[in-house]
């Protein structure tokens, strides 16, 4: 188990990011910003909230993960065009999930991801195969460069959910998966051996989807998630 100091430090690190997200939500609900508008600059938000620009970037990155904003080169970060009620509801859920029990979130993620892989195998088209293979290659290229490839990892999982065709399942994954993946990566420094395993696990999942083997795809995803869990637990024990 992690020490009280480690847990306290992690919570402190999360609080400024949550504050930024909450501030942006208030700007939208108060009418200062609307879907389609561009967010204030990093510098302006950092000065206004008395936080570092890195904190602002982390908060925006998280909202991008959730599909709520989109950063466009030379145009800034824009709020995606969802209705105010939907945006407010989703932001509230996200902020509540920030406080959720990690074990429960990880368990929910496993259920969603395994179901998603099976559905993708049953529903995939030739066009879907191209998109999944493109996402897999982006992940593999980043790993080859020595990068953690966390964004590419998430986008591959999200692409699989997209192919599965269940919009609610995909939305839940957008809310839950990024935080679970981030905490796993914080606790488990991805070493060379684990990188090789990640590559094989992702390839196995994609292969089973291409073969339209729903049972195999679900099993491959289960093996992948179990491997992440074991790696995280080993790292946590070393810290104790």
What would the pLDDT profile of 105-139 be if each residue is shown by its tens digit? 788 889 999 999 999 999 999 999 999 999 999 99
Region of poorest pLDDT, from 11-15, 58-62, 115-119, 137-141: 11-15
**Same structural domain for residues 214 and 126?**
yes
**Same structural domain for residues 52 and 146?**
no
- What CATH number corresponds to the domain at position 180? 1.20.120.530
Q: How many residues does the chain have?
A: 240
**Same structural domain for residues 8 and 86?**
yes
Q: Which pLDDT value is given to residue 148? A: 74
**Same structural domain for residues 137 and 80?**
no
Decide if 174 contacts 91 (C-beta within 8 A).
Answer: no
- What per-residue string of b and e applies to 38-72 under the rule 16 or more CB within 10 Å gives b? ebbebeebbeebebeeebbebbbbbbbbbebbeee
**Same structural domain for residues 148 and 129?**
yes
**Same structural domain for residues 86 and 130?**
no
Q: Which of 37, 66, 95 is the last residue of a domain?
A: 95
Q: What is the total count of domains within the chain?
A: 2
**Same structural domain for residues 105 and 79?**
no
- What CATH number corresponds to the domain at position 37? 1.10.10.10
What is the percent of the chain where pLDDT is above 90? 34
Range of the domain at 184: 101-239
Distance (Å, rounded) from C-alpha 101 to C-alpha 5? 18
**Same structural domain for residues 82 and 33?**
yes
Range with top average pLDDT, 170-184, 198-212, 220-234: 198-212
**Same structural domain for residues 112 and 165?**
yes
Q: How confident is the model at residue 236 (pLDDT cuts 50, 70, 90)?
A: very low
pLDDT in tens, 135-172: 999 999 998 888 878 888 888 999 999 999 988 888 78
Indicate the pTM of the whole model.
0.60
Q: Which of 95, 114, 140 is the last residue of a domain?
A: 95
Q: Which pLDDT value is given to residue 113? A: 94
**Same structural domain for residues 36 and 115?**
no
**Same structural domain for residues 163 and 88?**
no
**Same structural domain for residues 128 and 178?**
yes
Q: Which of 61, 95, 129 is the last residue of a domain?
A: 95
Residues 6 or more apart whose CB falls under 8 angstroms from that of 121 comprise 208, 209, 211, 212, 213, 214, 216, 217, 218
Which residue reads 């966390």 in tokens? 150
């Amino acid at each position: 188990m992690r020490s009280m100091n480690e847990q306290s430090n992690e919570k402190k690190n999360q609080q400024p990011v949550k504050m930024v997200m909450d501030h942006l939500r208030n700007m939208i609900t108060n009418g200062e910003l609307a879907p389609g508008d561009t967010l204030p600059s990093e510098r302006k938000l950092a000065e206004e909230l008395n936080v570092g620009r890195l904190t602002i970037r982390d908060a925006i990155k998280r909202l991008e993960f959730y599909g709520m904003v989109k950063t466009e080169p030379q145009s800034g970060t824009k709020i995606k065009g969802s209705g105010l009620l939907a945006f407010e509801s989703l932001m509230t859920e996200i902020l509540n999930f920030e406080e959720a029990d990690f074990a429960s979130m990880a368990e929910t993620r496993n259920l969603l991801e395994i179901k998603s892989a099976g559905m993708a195998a049953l529903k995939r088209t030739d066009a879907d195969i191209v998109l999944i293979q493109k996402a897999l290659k982006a992940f593999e290229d980043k790993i080859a460069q020595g990068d953690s490839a966390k964004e590419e990892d998430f986008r591959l999982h999200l692409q699989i959910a997209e192919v599965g065709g269940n919009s609610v399942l995909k939305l839940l994954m957008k809310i839950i998966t990024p935080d679970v993946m981030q905490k796993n990566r914080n606790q488990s420094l991805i070493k060379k051996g684990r990188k090789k395993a990640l590559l094989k696990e992702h390839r196995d999942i994609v292969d089973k989807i291409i073969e339209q083997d729903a049972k195999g795809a679900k099993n491959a995803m289960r093996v992948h998630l179990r491997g992440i869990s074991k790696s995280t637990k080993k790292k946590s024990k070393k810290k104790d």
